[in-house]
Amino acid sequence: MNRHEKYSLLEGLADTAAPKPSLTLSDAVALIVGIVIGAGIFQTPALVAAQAGSGLAVLMFWLIGGVVSLVGALCYAELATTYPDIGGVYYYLKRAFGRGVAFLFAWARMTVIQTGSITLLAFVFGDYASQIWQLGNFSPSIYAAFAIALLTALNIIGLQQGKWTQNLLTLAKVLGLLLVVLIGLTAAPNVTPPVESAASGTWGLAMVFVLLSYGGWNEAAYISAEIQNRQRNIVRSLLWSIGTITVIYLLINLAYLRGLGLANMANSKAVAADLMRAIWGAPGAWFISLLIAISTLGALNATVFTGARTNYALGQDFSIFSFMGHWRQRPSTPSYALLWQAAIALALVLLGTFTRKGFETMVDYTAPVFWFFFLLSGISLLVLRYREPQIQRPFRVPFYPFTPLLFCAVCGYLLYSSLVYTGVGAVVGVLVVAAGLPLLLWNRYRQGRA
């Protein structure tokens, strides 16, 4: 038996334990909402207000963000229902562009996109947890590393533990946000009319911040093989999630406008904390710090949950990463993929600690690479429609091809914007992705010799 046959046998044994449809519609909605409503909604509203000329414009930006997200979700719904696979975008890119492009995406997701997002969220959790209980000079980094380790362990223990943790964190987060909305709309004085002028900025820059806060709904692609009744529930989970998120975002911004006024909102460094401090004083600021910590922890858990799925798919297809292509039947988890993901994220925590700008470093590091592959995923829908017209598509994106073309145009604009606004961090992220090319060539060489 030669090495190629041995590898095929091991690969076949790895496939005996495979992901099963264990997630309900509510589980999927909790995951998507938990990922999207993370740290962004507590940071970006002030940045959006600084670019808007009126309170009405602020609300319109957030409504448009929901519509744009819905356009992208419709494209992903067709891909996910037609090609349900645990690799998500990795599988779509492999079918549309081949194994080379798919490998680079999986490499980028493993080393930049997903692990960078995990680390970014972990640093935000650490920053706000430190407001409640300080652990010394490196308190945010200690909290960040602890959160990554704890949530990885919970997901390794099993799918049931991971999804119930996510459901509870998402429920706490949404209820907490609705409480802030209720307080902001009822207890706060109406400081200023919503039409008060605060700044003269650009709508494009405002949309960059808005869509950053809406990012994450695409993670539904990575649970398409594990969701029950997927032909129906994938579409429903996306529509319910984005609808829920849009309503929450509109309400929270309305509460900010009513409680602080547009000018104060635009000048705030911590808009939610300023709102609660104005109403409840120091206890209000403590409460919002706790809420942000819980919110970010929920997004972090969901990102850990979905991130390892692409690593598992990568291990299934490329022998150089075969150690990640094993699925533990009991519990139903890709344990090795989760461990490898955690190791990279912890290394990025160290990077953020040394630069002393954890959150900013991770934003610069991830944004351009994320939007580049997001653009490719939109193009893959067009390519697969043309190349595979005979395949049954349980859901077809409406107004084809205009809907996916609009989605691609938005992704292209955000790719350009992220390259313009990020700087050195973007260069590092691109170089890390480029480092995957030698690994791809080495893998091909190994398979050629086998």
Does 9 reside within a domain? Answer: no
Q: Which domain holds residue 208?
A: 21-449
Residues linked to residue 23 through DSSP beta bridges, in sequence order:
227
Does 7 reside within a domain? Answer: no
pLDDT tens, 58-92? 999 999 999 988 898 889 889 988 887 767 788 89
Please state the rounded mean pLDDT for residues 417-433: 78
pLDDT tens, 101-144? 988 988 898 889 888 888 888 888 888 788 788 888 888 899 99
Q: How confident is the model at residue 423 (pLDDT cuts 50, 70, 90)?
A: low
Does 445 reside within a domain? Answer: yes
Backbone CA torsion sign across 367, 288, 57, 250: positive
pLDDT tens, 376-405? 999 999 999 999 999 999 889 989 999 999
pLDDT tens, 147-160? 999 999 888 886 55
Does 1 reside within a domain? Answer: no
Q: What pLDDT is stored for residue 1 in this prediction?
A: 47
Task: Tell whether the model's pLDDT for residue 14 goes beyond 50.
Answer: no
Please state the rounded mean pLDDT for residues 45-55: 84
Q: What pLDDT is stored for residue 13 in this prediction?
A: 39
Provide the percentage of residues in the chain whose pLDDT is more than 70: 80
Task: Tell whether the model's pLDDT for residue 438 goes beyond 80.
Answer: yes
- Tokens 């999207």 belong to which residue? 36
pTM of structure: 0.74
Does 12 reside within a domain? Answer: no
Q: How confident is the model at residue 407 (pLDDT cuts 50, 70, 90)?
A: very high
Q: How confident is the model at residue 11 (pLDDT cuts 50, 70, 90)?
A: very low
Average pLDDT, the chain: 79
| Nearest alpha carbon to residue 65 among 241, 218, 250 | 250
Does 13 reside within a domain? Answer: no
Q: How does DSSP assign 325-390, residue by residue? A: ---BTTTTB-HHHHHHHHHHHHHHHHHHHHHT-HHHHHHHHHHHHHHHHHHHHHHHHHHHHHH-TT
CATH value at residue 402: 1.20.1740.10
Give the count of domains, the chain: 1
Does 5 reside within a domain? Answer: no
Provide the percentage of residues in the chain whose pLDDT is more than 90: 16
Please state the rounded mean pLDDT for residues 173-185: 77
Does 339 reside within a domain? Answer: yes
Helices within 215-281 (DSSP H only):
230-260, 262-267, 271-280
Q: Which long-range contacts (C-beta less than 8 Å, at least 24 apart) are formed by 433-441?
A: 433/104, 433/107, 433/108, 433/111, 433/112, 433/369, 435/111, 436/103, 436/104, 436/107, 436/108, 436/111, 437/104, 439/103, 439/107, 439/320, 440/100, 440/103, 440/104, 440/107
